[in-house]
């Protein structure tokens, strides 16, 4: 079993939907009067399926074929109206619809190569929807404290480890390891992440036609600080006349 196959298979066990996340999404959709959502980087469809239960039309996309297949199976089992397809956030040209809201959670956005690609991605988001909800790791905290490891996750079947190596070019090597105690099997993988600080994100949004509405530090809606675990923000599409 390779790492990404294992991650797909056990993703829901490692990252189950939690009460604060569920409440946050329900409140956001209601308060923003969102009736259709494009969920970018949807993983195994957990958030997309939850949003669809509120009556919202949802299309979830992810770069991973395996995760999209799992999402489709889950949707079929729960008779969900959510649909899923394979797509890269860097190229959304295959999606012809427009949506009330774009949702991009789970640190998906940090997989861009740098500020230029970040702005390209956010500009594409603007072409697909009028409202935006983003969530990433709070990289202000990671960088300021030179954090090298996130808390490990223990489940019934595995241990999940996440390690950072701070690179000379300012990026992060993000190493992930899954250990299966019952079989002593270990699988691992490494991604290069662009640590998007709060200021970088807000400036990129402003430059690509988005206006930040709210900023939180976690799904319990606590105010964002440098020490918050996450950077979560909502934004609204600005008419082009305001960008001139």
C-alpha distance from residue 119 to each of 9, 29, 155, 193 (Å): 32, 25, 37, 15
Q: Do 27 and 146 sit in the same domain of this protein? A: no
Residue 181: what pLDDT? 96
- Please report, for the domain that includes residue 30, its CATH number: 3.40.50.150
Q: Do 97 and 54 sit in the same domain of this protein? A: yes
Q: Do 72 and 9 sit in the same domain of this protein? A: yes
Q: Do 75 and 123 sit in the same domain of this protein? A: yes
| Count of the separate structural domains present in the chain | 2
Q: Do 14 and 71 sit in the same domain of this protein? A: yes
The tens digit of pLDDT for each residue in 44-60 reads 999 999 999 999 999 99
Q: Do 109 and 219 sit in the same domain of this protein? A: yes
Q: Do 75 and 165 sit in the same domain of this protein? A: no
Q: Do 82 and 183 sit in the same domain of this protein? A: no
Show the low-confidence residues of the chain (pLDDT under 70). 1, 240-244
Residue 1: what pLDDT? 61
Q: Do 169 and 219 sit in the same domain of this protein? A: no
Complete DSSP assignment for 159-215: EEEEEEEE-TTS-EEEEEEEEETTTTEEEEEEEEE----HHHHHHHHHHTTEEEEEE
Candidates 51, 27, 15; CA nearest to 219 is: 27
The tens digit of pLDDT for each residue in 86-122 reads 999 999 999 999 999 999 999 999 999 999 999 999 9
Q: Which of 151, 174, 193 is at the close of a domain? A: 193
Q: Do 53 and 173 sit in the same domain of this protein? A: no
Q: Do 129 and 17 sit in the same domain of this protein? A: yes
Task: Give me the domain span that covers residue 48.
Answer: 3-138+197-243
């Amino acid at each position: 079993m390779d790492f990404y196959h294992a991650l797909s298979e056990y993703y829901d066990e490692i990252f189950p939907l939690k009460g604060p996340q569920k409440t946050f999404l329900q409140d956001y959709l209601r308060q923003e009067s969102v009736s259709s959502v494009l969920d970018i980087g949807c993983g195994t469809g957990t958030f997309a399926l939850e949003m669809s239960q509120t009556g919202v039309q949802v299309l979830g996309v992810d770069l991973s074929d395996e995760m999209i297949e799992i999402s489709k199976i889950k949707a079929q089992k729960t008779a969900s109206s959510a649909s899923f397809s394979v797509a890269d956030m860097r190229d959304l040209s295959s999606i012809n619809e427009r949506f009330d809201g774009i949702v991009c959670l789970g640190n998906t956005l940090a997989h861009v190569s740098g500020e230029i690609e970040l702005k390209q991605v956010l500009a594409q988001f603007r072409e697909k929807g009028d409202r935006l909800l983003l969530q990433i790791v709070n990289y202000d905290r990671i960088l300021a404290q030179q954090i090298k490891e996130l808390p490990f996750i223990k489940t019934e079947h595995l241990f999940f480890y996440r390690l950072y190596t701070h690179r000379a070019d300012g990026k992060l090597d993000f190493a992930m390891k899954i250990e299966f105690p019952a079989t002593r099997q270990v699988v691992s993988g490494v991604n290069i992440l662009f640590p998007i600080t709060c200021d970088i994100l807000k400036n990129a949004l402003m430059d690509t036609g988005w206006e930040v509405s709210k900023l939180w530090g976690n799904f319990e809606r606590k105010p964002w600080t440098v020490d918050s675990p996450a950077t979560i923000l909502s934004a609204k599409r600005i008419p082009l006349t305001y960008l001139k």
